[in-house]
Amino acid sequence: MLKIENLHVKLEEEDKQILKGIDLHVPYGEVHAIMGPNGSGKSTLSYVLSGRDGYEVTEGSAQLEGEDLLDLEPEERAAAGLFLAFQYPVEIPGVGNMTFLRTAVNAQRKARGEEELSAGDFLKAVRAKAKTLKIDSEMLKRPVNVGFSGGEKKRNEILQMAMLEPKMCILDETDSGLDVDAMKLVSEGVNALRGPDRGFLVITHYQRLLDHIKPDVVHIMANGRIVKSGGPELALEVETNGYGDIIGEVA
């Protein structure tokens, strides 16, 4: 599903190489975790895949279902089925959460040549999905992420993901700022979306999120490269010994 080959990325504004040859393949139905110390390039990878400005790809490729992602605008990547759950979801005062969600859902449907959802169908779908994430109607009415707690913001990200039904979901440090209960709720939301047609890339600093969202493969990233890949036991190794051993071992 998601195939990244030899991806090299530098900052656009300065001569600083962030990713130095990433190779990664997430097959259909699998959950891959990327762990690594601060500054290893995890978030950069998520931004480059979703098309944020400020980065320059100097080498390599990234494909979603065989389609080259890197030439597409961010909204085209979304329509192609890519979704990024932000580490810091953005507050948009004055734009209702519902309005935003509906605009996004219908923009994607339109881009894919599908019919737009009617107001009634949309409302029904949102209410059902919001309920499982314990998002009340008051939160749906409020401006996007304004006045939301950290946990509410992350739940709102998962609600967007559930409504947009992407093929490939990237979760960027979704566990940051969450207490145990919120992490459970968010994880349940993610797990409900797992399926044979969908892939996940879960970026996290800590192992604890992976207790709830069980990965098939764990990659350790350091200094712009994936230095080690393995099963879920790799995450436990990090938890026990820290990154030092693994990174040192490879170097």
Stretch that binds another protein, among 25-33, 69-77, 225-233, 235-243 (CB under 8 A): 69-77
Stretch that binds another protein, among 18-26, 86-94, 191-199, 227-235 (CB under 8 A): 86-94
> By CB under 8 A, how many residues form the interface with another protein?
29
Query: Among residues 15, 73, 115, 233, which is the contact residue for another protein, using CB under 8 A?
Result: 73
* Residues between 155 and 214 with contacts to another protein, criterion CB under 8 A: 160, 164
Stretch that binds another protein, among 88-96, 182-190, 207-215, 231-239 (CB under 8 A): 88-96
* Residues between 90 and 129 with contacts to another protein, criterion CB under 8 A: 90, 92-95, 100, 103-105, 107-108, 111
Query: Among residues 55, 86, 148, 200, which is the contact residue for another protein, using CB under 8 A?
Result: 86
CA gap 201, 172 in Å, rounded: 8
- Give me the phi and psi of 203, to 5 degrees please: -95, 125
Q: Token pair for residue 7?
A: 């991806």
Stretch that binds another protein, among 18-26, 67-75, 125-133, 192-200 (CB under 8 A): 67-75
* Minimum CB distance to another protein, residue 108 (Å): 4
Q: Which of 2, 8, 10 shows the shortest CA–CA distance to 28?
A: 2
Stretch that binds another protein, among 57-65, 74-82, 190-198, 217-225 (CB under 8 A): 74-82
DSSP string, 77-122: HHHHTEEEE-SSPPPEEEEEHHHHHHHHHHHHHHHTTPPPPPHHHH
233 binds another protein (CB under 8 A): no
* Closer CB to another protein, 28 or 100, in the complex: 100
What does the buried/exposed string (b/e) look like for 149-182 if buried means 16 or more CB atoms within 10 Å of the residue's CB?
Answer: eebbbbbbbbbbbbbbebbbbbbbbbbeebeeeb
CA gap 40, 119 in Å, rounded: 44
Residue partners of 115: CB distance under 8 A and separation at least 6:
109
* Minimum CB distance to another protein, residue 165 (Å): 11
Q: 146: how many CB neighbours lie within 10 A of its CB? A: 13
238 forms beta bridges with none
* Closer CB to another protein, 11 or 250, in the complex: 11
Q: Which residues bind another protein (CB under 8 A)?
A: 50-53, 73-75, 77-79, 83-84, 86, 89-90, 92-95, 100, 103-105, 107-108, 111, 143, 160, 164
